[in-house]
Amino acid sequence: MSDQIPPVPPPASFPVQAPAPAGDKKGLAIASLVLGILSLCGSLVWFCGVPLSIVGVVLGFLGIKGTGRSLAIGGLILSAVGLLLAIVFAILGVVASPVIQQLQNQIISNMGY
């Protein structure tokens, strides 16, 4: 018997990765769902809710043809609702701001400032 250790093959110079499946768009569907949830939370502040909603809607449309169809539809619906809420809250803010300013002036004048 020989006490020699067998030679170890040299390491590869670059890592070998399996190619991604061609038609799998589940990542887009998940991203759409996450952005839809975030757009609902950010809809109170229009400059947060509107961009999140728009990107969520686009990713939802792109992800509908993949394996995560139900996730994409959910993200699409949540993003659309977030967009509508952001628009409604922005309109309410513009309409209600004079009323809020008037109430603030009355409170300040009643306090004696």
Contact 60, 83 (CB under 8 A): no
- The owner of tokens 């995560």 is 68
- The per-residue pLDDT for range 78-95, each reduced to its tens digit, is 999 999 999 999 999 999
Q: Mean of the pLDDT values across residues 61-68? A: 90
How far apart CA 61 and CA 51 sit, in angstroms, is: 16
- Per-residue confidence band for 14, with pLDDT thresholds at 50, 70 and 90: low
How far apart CA 86 and CA 72 sit, in angstroms, is: 21
- The owner of tokens 């300013």 is 101
Query: Following DSSP, what letter does each residue of 15-46 receive, concatenated?
Result: ---PPPPSS--HHHHHHHHHHHHHHHHHTTSH
Tell me what pLDDT residue 41 has.
94
Q: Say whether pTM exceeds 0.75.
A: no
How far apart CA 36 and CA 54 sit, in angstroms, is: 9
